């Protein structure tokens, strides 16, 4: 039995596959899932349990110890905050949490709005533009680079390396990008050490070199890599998915256009409806565990699908329908759950809301530039996102 995630139709529309898997069992062994035999979780309650299960480890370095993988990923990519368990995870996360609190994001909002407006200032009514290349990519890249202190001149290179890290099926390209990005950030750390500024990376360097909770040099570089990549890849996909959903549901988008104050609340339903994270970075069972009534043997990889969980009819009524007035949309798992819930969720939410507000208020005649079934989706098992989204202004 081959993995359904390898089906070409899956990239275009994964939801029928998710529904079929869920009907067969919300937690099931699936040979080939994640390119190795393992378990896939598609039910909402089961996904929520698995995402916070203390018996499932994120320490993938430990999983691969002593195994020949044929890969040459940089350690900064394989051993980062996402791939650690407590107590190391607790210590590392505590050091960066303050930069992404709702209060910290509120202070960033003027810059987010200013950046979004600047990106579309050259757009003219009547022309065709690509929302992904023109707004969904550069907005979160600009914001996270500003937050970390990445020079403007380097942002295109950083963006290209980050994109390559998610090139599913091209291991050589992924591995090369991991080294290029980690080497760049190691050099940037050295630069911040010589000439500190008020950016987050300089603050982390101070933690590395100071007293109290400290970082090793590898931990510092790995945090920088994770914050940079996670700070824009999923947000880019979320913006594109949200814009596409609204253009396919003109009555719903008109409601937001006539009352932009609804946008903040609508973001949660858009994240639920078409989640940017299709399959979460995987976990594994060091010892036998039970997830959703299913026994998972020791040593088994476990893939959790927020995309599937967010369309579970046992949790969300009529889940395949976009309903911007849905009362429980905030319960979505697009940002994960438990101790590994997305650190940058408040920032991502603000960026998606800002992008939608700019598009809906400044371009009231916005419409798709080509049929939705002709759009190209990224070849990535983890991220569900468009390669491009041409629209007519």
Q: Could you tell me which of 71, 3, 81, 85 has the C-alpha nearest to residue 37?
A: 3
pLDDT at 154: 92
pLDDT band at 34 (very low <50, low <70, confident <90, very high): very low
Check if the beta carbon of residue 296 is closer than 8 Å to that of residue 39.
yes
Q: What is the pLDDT of residue 311?
A: 98
What is the reported pLDDT for 78? Answer: 81
In eight-state DSSP terms, residue 33 is G
* pLDDT at position 3: 58
Pair type for strands 39-41 and 289-291: unpaired
Task: Write the Ramachandran bin of 212: left for phi over 0, alpha for psi from -120 to 50, otherwise beta.
Answer: left
Give the confidence band of 227 by pLDDT, cuts at 50, 70, 90: confident
Domains identified in the chain, total number: 1
CA distance 382 to 87: 26
- Residue whose structure tokens are 């970082």: 215
Q: Quick one: pLDDT at residue 111? A: 95
Runs of H (alpha helix) within 170-262 = 171-194, 200-209, 217-230, 233-248, 250-258
CATH number, domain with residue 359: 1.10.630.10
User: How far is residue 385 from each of residues 108, 166, 380, 388, measured CA to CA in Å?
Assistant: 25, 11, 8, 9
* pLDDT value at 209 more than 80: no
Q: How far apart are CA 250 and CA 257, in angstroms?
A: 10
pLDDT tens digits for range 96-124: 888 888 888 999 999 999 999 999 999 99
260-295 pLDDT per residue, tens: 999 999 999 999 999 999 999 889 999 999 999 999
Q: Is the pLDDT of residue 70 over 70?
A: no
d(CA 149, CA 202): 8
List the domain range (segments joined by +) for residue 248: 4-67+74-392
| Per-residue model confidence (pLDDT) at position 235 | 95
The pLDDT, as a whole number, for residue 260 is 93
Q: Model confidence over 338-387: pLDDT tens digits?
A: 999 999 999 999 999 999 999 999 999 999 999 999 999 988 878 999 99
Global pTM value:
0.91
Query: Tokens 């005649």 sit at which residue?
Result: 365
What six digits make up the tokens of 160? Answer: 């290209």
* CA dihedral over 92, 232, 34, 184, signed as positive or negative: negative
**Predicted local distance difference test score (pLDDT) of residue 213:** 60
Q: What is the pLDDT of residue 372?
A: 94
**pLDDT tens, 165-195?**
877 668 888 899 999 999 999 999 999 999 9
- If you count DSSP H runs as helices and E runs as strands, how many of each does the chain have, helices first? 18, 9
pLDDT (average), residues 58-81: 78
- Phi/psi for 283 (5° steps) reads -115, 175
For residue range 246-264, list pLDDT tens digits in order. 999 999 999 999 999 999 9
Q: Quote the pLDDT of residue 219.
A: 86
> In angstroms, rounded to a whole number, what is the distance separating the alpha carbons of residues 45 and 291?
10
How sure is the predictor about 230, in pLDDT bands with cuts at 50, 70 and 90?
confident
Confidence class for position 32, pLDDT limits 50, 70, 90: low
When the pLDDT of each residue in the chain is averaged and rounded to a whole number, the result is 90
Looking only at the bridges linking them, the beta strands covering 301-304 and 283-284 are: antiparallel
């Amino acid at each position: 039995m081959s993995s359904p995630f390898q089906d070409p139709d899956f990239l275009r529309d994964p939801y029928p596959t998710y529904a079929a898997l869920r009907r067969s069992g919300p937690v099931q062994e699936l040979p080939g899932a994640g390119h190795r035999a393992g378990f896939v979780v598609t039910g909402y309650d089961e996904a929520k349990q698995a995402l916070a299960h203390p018996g499932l480890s994120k320490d993938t370095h430990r999983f691969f110890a002593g195994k020949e993988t044929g890969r040459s990923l940089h350690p900064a990519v394989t051993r980062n905050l996402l791939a650690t368990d407590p107590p190391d995870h607790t210590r590392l996360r505590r050091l960066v949490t303050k930069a992404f609190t709702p209060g910290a994001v509120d202070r960033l909002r003027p810059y987010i709005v200013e950046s979004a407006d600047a990106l579309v200032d050259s757009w003219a009514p009547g022309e065709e533009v690509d929302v992904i290349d023109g707004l969904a990519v550069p907005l979160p890249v600009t914001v996270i680079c500003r937050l970390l202190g990445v020079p403007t001149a380097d942002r295109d290179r950083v963006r290209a390396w980050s994109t390559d890290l998610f090139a599913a099926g091209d291991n050589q390209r992924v591995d090369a990008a991991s080294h290029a990005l980690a080497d760049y950030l190691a050099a940037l750390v050295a630069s911040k050490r010589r000439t500190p500024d008020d950016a987050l990376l300089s603050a982390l360097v101070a933690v590395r070199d100071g007293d109290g909770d400290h970082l090793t040099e590898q931990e510092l570089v790995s945090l920088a890599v994770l914050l940079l990549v996670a700070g824009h890849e999923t947000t880019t996909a979320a913006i594109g998915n949200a814009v596409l959903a609204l253009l396919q549901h003109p009555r719903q988008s008109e409601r937001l256009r006539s009352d932009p104050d609804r946008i903040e609340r609508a973001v949660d339903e858009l994240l639920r409806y078409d989640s940017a994270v299709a399959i979460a970075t995987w976990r594994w069972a060091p010892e036998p565990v039970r997830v959703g009534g299913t026994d998972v043997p020791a040593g088994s990889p476990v893939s959790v699908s927020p995309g599937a969980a967010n369309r579970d009819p046992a949790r969300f009524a009529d889940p395949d329908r976009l309903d911007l007035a849905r009362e429980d949309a905030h319960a979505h798992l697009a940002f994960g759950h438990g101790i590994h819930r997305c650190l940058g969720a408040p920032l991502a939410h603000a960026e998606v809301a800002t992008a939608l507000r700019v598009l809906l208020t400044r371009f009231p005649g916005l419409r798709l530039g080509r049929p939705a079934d002709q759009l190209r989706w990224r070849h990535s098992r983890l991220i569900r996102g468009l390669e491009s989204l041409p629209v007519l202004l």
